[in-house]
Structure 1
């Protein structure tokens, strides 16, 4: 895949690393000369020390042939200008970071896939890690629903039960679905006769998010609130 990444800062750098490691054809546009030089030294990709809000620079980066462009700067005005120019060049996939939630509508109106306020997401992730220590990862879906990974602990009502039995006993509610079970580095398809064990890492969909009641299904009394 041919990808143009705008910005080689705190967000762009791990993105460059990931894209180059997977052997994509990557071009980076970075306005800061020192940052651009560092990226060129550390990664196997073409780095242009240029202003990505100038059409000629996007054309030099090969935007007319790119599969995607991802803008990661810390200024929404720059990101939106890059997206508008990329749209004019008919880049198929437009992706951008958006720092101010009030600007989300503008990005979406021109067909940009957005990541809202990464600093806020990091803060939320860190707080959830303290508040819900068994939750390994999570993703919002819509206003309330979430998909999350959670480790089954001692004392949880689902431990030792099959998924079918857990459903029949009302342990698993109608709005909660176990999507996958990881055990000893093996992924198990969550069929009804599969028994859930302590230490299993479950991928769970919950329509109501991971509320205290949902957490109790998998961790019993482990939640921090119950330790007071």
Structure 2
């Protein structure tokens, strides 16, 4: 299958690696020429410099020849627009990354029915694990912990939105405390130093996740 990926962030790079390994013909489009060059050399894929929300750039890439377009840049609106343009130019199937579930409803009304929400995917997997291993409501199964971590000043997560955190499918943020106030973990919330984050975590990944919140050397 010929697949064109918009965006070279964490999710984009993950998809490039995994889909390339499965034998698909992969191309990537990003506005950063240096990033395009790096990905082309690292993964042996076609890297196209361009604005994914610009119809002229997409038309020049001859995207109608691709079987699938996946847009995973950081802004929901841009992903929706990119997929709409791709459909207009003849692409039969598109997938858009949507961080805000409310935007997914808007995308569906516009005809973008295939969406990817990393946060919801992670939540579903963790909750499925809890139900399968210990279906009694209110109990925590073996292998799963609820932990409370403080965001360190120079940590990997400080200053980043929840939606942009490392893509790990075995943890789920359930609340954030800021100045004594408990906040709903909105995907666009920026984690700040000294905030406390409560999450459900698979025990086997606890050390790795804890390291994200500690001071970076």
RMSD: 3.2
> 1:64–1:224: structure 2 CA closer, same or farther, 3 Å change rule?
closer
CA distance in 2, matches of 1:73, 1:222: 33
Per-residue deviation, 1:223: 7.5
The 5 Å alignment of 1:92-107 reads 92-107=92-107
Q: Deviations over 1:158-214 (max 9, x none)?
A: xxxxxxxxxxxxxxxxxxxxxxxxxxxxxxxxxxxxxxxxxxxxxxxxxxxx6326x
Whether 1:212 and 2:213 are equivalent positions in the alignment is: no
Deviations 1:120-156 (A, max 9, x none): 644x379x49xx9xx4xx9xxxxxxx8x6x5xxxxxx
TM-score (norm: length of structure 2): 0.57
The normalised TM-score by structure 1 is: 0.54
Task: Structure 2 unaligned segments of length 5 or more: list them.
Answer: 147-217
- Specify the SS of the correspondent of 1:52: coil
**Ranges in structure 1 where 5+ consecutive residues have no aligned partner:** 139-145, 151-209
Figure out how many residues of one structure are paired with residues of the other and give that number. Answer: 145
The alpha-carbon deviation at position 13 of structure 1 amounts to 0.3
- Partner residue, 1:20: 20
Name the CA shift for 1:20/1:223 in 2 (closer, same or farther; >3 Å): closer
Q: Deviations over 1:57-111 (max 9, x none)?
A: 2223331111110000000121011011011122111101101222111211213
> What CA distance in whole angstroms lies between the structure 1 residues aligned with 2:68 and 2:27?
11
Runs of 4+ in structure 1 deviating by more than 6 angstroms, as ranges, are 221-225
Partners of 1:224 and 1:75 in 2: CA distance: 32
Larger Rg: 1
Residue in 2 aligned with 1:30? 30
